[in-house]
Amino acid sequence: MEAGKHEICPARGKIQQLTSLPSLAVVKYQLVKALNKDSISIEDISDIVKHDQALASRVLAIANSAFLGYPGRIGAIDQAVMLLGFDLVRSISLAASMFNVFASQYGNLKQIWAHSYVVASIASGLCDKLQGSEKGNCFLSGLLHDIGRLALFRIASESDMDTQIHELARLRGDALLKAEEEMSGCSHTQAAKWFLEHLYFPDEIIVPIEKHHELAGEGPLKKISNIIFLAEGLSDIICPLIAHDSKWTEAHVKLFSEMGLGDKDIDDLKASVETEEASIAKFFDL
């Protein structure tokens, strides 16, 4: 689809409206309000998250993942805010509330979340190997990288495309993006951009998500964008059994070696994802 056409794409308004879904809207409103306050205390943000028990436990589960560096050591939201920072806990809270909103509708979407968690963990592992990247943003971008697919499922469920869109689940890479464009008027990468912009997510998370199926161009977010692109591709060879929309291509192989990485790194990343496999399954109730 050529530039400009997306601006009038009917899917855009529907995707933006999704951010008004009740449980998402409450968290969005309160967290954005809290973030815009000049002086916000740990208690303020904790109160917002603790208000919803399901949300609080999911935030803690993410905060305690090995990939953020504090496995099993964070017992309370206030502690999570202290260790991980406001921005990250706010983004985690929004991610967790999205899981609640979308998970209640489609059981099979758990596989998408499991794949997302795998990509988040690989991205986080890549950050450890490549100095100078922000690990929290890498993890969150990975966790939310396919949120556009959930948004497209949701808007399709409100139209007569419900069955058709689920048939796209067998497609991967460019073939999937093309089919989504034809069916919904936009790909899941574009849908994610509109959705997350409407939730006031930072560019550090939106840009890598928008670019996760392509090589990043020059710009300040090139490194993190390429990490998410690589993590998405690597999930195809590291966790092939979890349903995924990625493909390990020549472009990934080339970038991987340009970044100074090799087979040994793939083995390391695979081993660290395998150690977390049980908690991924538990977290997503697989």
Q: Which residues bind Fe ion (CB under 5 A)?
A: 146, 245-246
To Fe ion, the closest distance from the beta carbon of 188 in angstroms equals: 6
Residue 211 beta carbon to Fe ion: minimum distance, rounded to whole angstroms: 11
Tell me the CA end-to-end span of the chain in Å, nearest whole number. Answer: 37
Pick 19 or 246: Cβ nearer Fe ion = 246
Identify which of residues 9 and 168 has a Cβ nearer to Fe ion in the complex.
Answer: 168
Q: Please list the alpha-helical segments (H only) found in the chain.
A: 10-18, 22-36, 42-50, 53-63, 77-84, 86-103, 110-129, 135-143, 147-157, 162-167, 173-184, 188-198, 203-210, 222-238, 250-258, 263-275, 277-284
Whether residue 149 contacts residue 112, with contact meaning beta carbons closer than 8 Å, is answered with yes
SS (H, E, C) 16-34: HHHCCCHHHHHHHHHHHHH
At a CB cut-off of 8 Å and minimum separation 6, what does 222 contact? 216
CB of 40 to Fe ion, least distance (A): 33
To the nearest whole angstrom, how small is the minimum distance from the Cβ of residue 175 to Fe ion? 12
Measured from the CB atom, the residue of 56 and 120 that comes closer to Fe ion is 120
Q: Which of 187, 239, 214, 250 is nearest to 11 (CA)?
A: 187
* Closer residue to Fe ion, CB minimum distance, 146 or 210: 146
Q: How far is the CB of 49 from Fe ion (least distance, A)?
A: 27
Q: How far is the CB of 176 from Fe ion (least distance, A)?
A: 7
Comparing CB distances to Fe ion, the nearer of 78 and 146 is 146
Our CB check for Fe ion shows the closer of 84 and 138 to be 138
189 CB contacts (<8 Å, ≥6 apart)?
Answer: 148, 177, 209, 210, 211, 212, 213
